[in-house]
Amino acid sequence: MYIHIGGDVSLLKKNIIAIFDMDNTTTSKWTRQFLQLSEDDGAVINVSDEIPRTFVIADNGAKTNAIVYLSPVSSATLL
């Protein structure tokens, strides 16, 4: 099954590792550091021009790091 996360992006449900609400999770220094390191590695994809409400971590099918998708869709809707 596919899950539409915004823009023109849909992910296979089995490839989704985690779905996080931006407002509740980015208060942690560890989360901010993870997002910054992922961005530095080029592993962050913003799926829309809208303000992101959620970030989705998904397996990219390779042995490298996962991909972080910034989505305007709320985590409650995606879950």
pLDDT for residue 54:
97
pLDDT for residue 19:
97
Per residue in 10-30, pLDDT tens? 999 999 999 999 999 989 999
Phi, psi of 49 (to 5 degrees): -80, -10
Per residue in 29-69, pLDDT tens? 999 999 999 999 999 999 999 999 999 999 987 767 799 99
Specify the 3-state DSSP secondary structure of 75: helix
pTM, entire model: 0.92
Specify the 3-state DSSP secondary structure of 52: coil
pLDDT for residue 69:
97
Residue 3 has pLDDT above 90, yes or no: yes
